[in-house]
Structure 1
Amino acid sequence: MLTFRKASEGDIPEIVSFTMDTWDWGDYIPEVIGRWVAEGRAYVAVLEGHIAAVAAMKLVGKSAYLQGLRVKPELRGRGIGEAMTRFLLDETRRAGASVATLLVAEWNTPSHGLVKKVGFKERMVIYGGRPAGGGTGRCLSGLEAYEAVAEALGRTRGYACLPDEPWVCTAVTPWDLLSRGRPCVGDALYVGRFSFGAAQGDPQTDVTSVDPSGYKQRYASHVLYAVEL
């Protein structure tokens, strides 16, 4: 029987063992799972006493972002990923969230099918990578900062990535962004490591954006999906 629970520190070695070589280049899960467990945002699916899958959930106000779903290779194709996703959606409801989001790389056809099956709808495309760099632009404060962010969110229907965690993308308020970074105007409005236009920021650091330009190294583009709870 498949059961679900929060991940514990003792689960980390087993999680790392089946997430090291997810793709040709490896995976980021081994680097972040310790932090996710410490923050209480990692969950595991357990089958016959062993971890079958792992995933995480981050709450941002009334929104929840689901990330890092990985199923043990020998157990794929048995519906465990779908069951894990449905469990996390139940967790987001219990936590009081009104919307859940996640990112799926455009090339990942199986994951697109999975998230659509459980009710997620496409909202926008998010681009990520290392920016080309350039000037920092003019930074805003006070009412000007709030109005600029509110206007930008109006154009994205309320979706953005977090300034301090640019791969966490969900439905946010202006205050969610302003509490995490200061908005600046360069080629476009950007807050921390997320841009409402072309990529901007430190060329040595990952950023995300809603426009594919401005990168010296752009990774796979991702579809942002959302479901109302």
Structure 2
Amino acid sequence: MQDTIRKAELGDIPRIQELCAEIWDGGDYIPHVVSDWIRDPEGDFCVVEVMDDGPDEHTGLGVPNGRPARAGHIATLGKLTILNGQDGWLEGLRGNTEYKGQGYAQKLTSYFIEKARAR
């Protein structure tokens, strides 16, 4: 599996809502703020996207040429906002239970810490 940390996009909203539906019995606040977070110029709302090159979950067949059969699973997400030009505020860290224990949340947290230090 290959993973990428990238900014969340409006097209990610359905997958983010699906991930958050399992949190706090569906009472997570993130589905209510996700559009604002994506558009927030002061914040970095990011996802770790996992490209799974395994068999297609519907057909059981892989895709030729080494391209992923299933792509774009969100393993974890979170938001970093720099306040007052110097203080970093990390919020909304969520993890997909399918990827629990695989280090994606730690990878995203480390990314945010390094990004905050660089400012």
TM-score by length of 2: 0.73
8 Å contact from structure 1 (residues 3, 47) kept in 2: yes
SS in 2 for 1:24: helix
Q: Secondary structure at the match of 2:25?
A: coil
Deviation of 1:26 (Å): 2.1
In 2, Cα distance between equivalents of 1:25 and 1:10: 21
Partner of 1:35: 36
Secondary structure, counterpart of 1:88 in structure 2: helix
SS at match of 1:23: helix
3-state SS, counterpart of residue 22 of structure 2: coil
Query: What does residue 4 of structure 2 align with?
Result: 3
Once the 2 structures are TM-superposed, how far is the Cα of residue 24 of structure 1 from its aligned partner? 3.0
Between the aligned partners of 2:25 and 2:73, the Cα distance in structure 1 is 25
The count of residues paired between Structure 1 and Structure 2 equals 95
Specify the alignment match of 2:48 in structure 1.
45
Aligned mate of 1:60, from 66, 73, 83: 83
Distance 1:47 1:24 in 2: 25
Larger % of helix: which? 2
Alignment of 1:1-229 (within 5 A): 1-24=2-25, 26-40=27-41, 41=43, 42-48=45-51, 49-61=72-84, 62-94=86-118, 96=119
The one-letter amino acid paired with 1:33 is V
Secondary structure at the residue paired with 2:14? helix
Secondary structure of the structure 2 residue equivalent to 1:53: strand
What displacement does 1:46 show?
0.9
Q: Tell me if the contact between 2:77 and 2:93 (Cα under 8 Å) persists in the aligned partners.
A: yes
AA aligned opposite 1:51: I
Contact 2:81 2:88 in 1 (8 A): yes
Aligned partners of 1:23 and 1:82: how far apart in 2? 21
Tell me how far apart the structure 1 counterparts of residues 9 and 48 of structure 2 sit (CA, whole Å): 12
Gaps of 5+ in 1: 97-229
Q: Kindly indicate whether the alpha-carbon contact (under 8 Å) linking 1:20 and 1:29 is maintained by their aligned counterparts in 2.
A: no
Q: Amino acid of the residue matched to residue 77 of structure 2? A: V
Please say which structure displays the higher CA radius of gyration: 1
